[in-house]
Amino acid sequence: MPGTASASKGLAPICPERLYPLTVFEGITGLGPTRRREGRLAGVHLPTIDVGRRKFVEGAAGQEYIRRLAEVL
């Protein structure tokens, strides 16, 4: 849908069975480092898988993170 906010920001559904690079996860959810920091300060942590300097988020863990984040922010 051209012209909508979600289309312009690249927002997309999160598939629980997929693995996302952290930057892609941030892009499709619209949750950047600032919002993640606010969540971390509120005790909500995004579980990541670290491979060298790269970080990945499992889709199911990302969905649960968003649910917990919504409760505190």
Q: Kindly list the distances between the CA atom of residue 13 and the CA atoms of 27, 43, 60, in Å, as whole numbers in the listed order.
A: 11, 25, 12
pTM for this entry = 0.81
Q: Tens digit of pLDDT per residue, the chain (73 long)?
A: 444 444 446 789 999 999 999 999 999 999 988 999 999 999 999 999 999 999 999 999 999 999 999 999 8
Q: Give the C-alpha separation, 54 to 50, whole Å.
A: 6
CA 56 – CA 44 distance, rounded (Å): 17
- The DSSP bridge pattern shows strands 49-51 and 19-21 to be unpaired
Range of the domain at 44: 5-72
Number of domains in the chain: 1
Say if residues 13 and 66 touch (Cβ distance below 8 Å): no
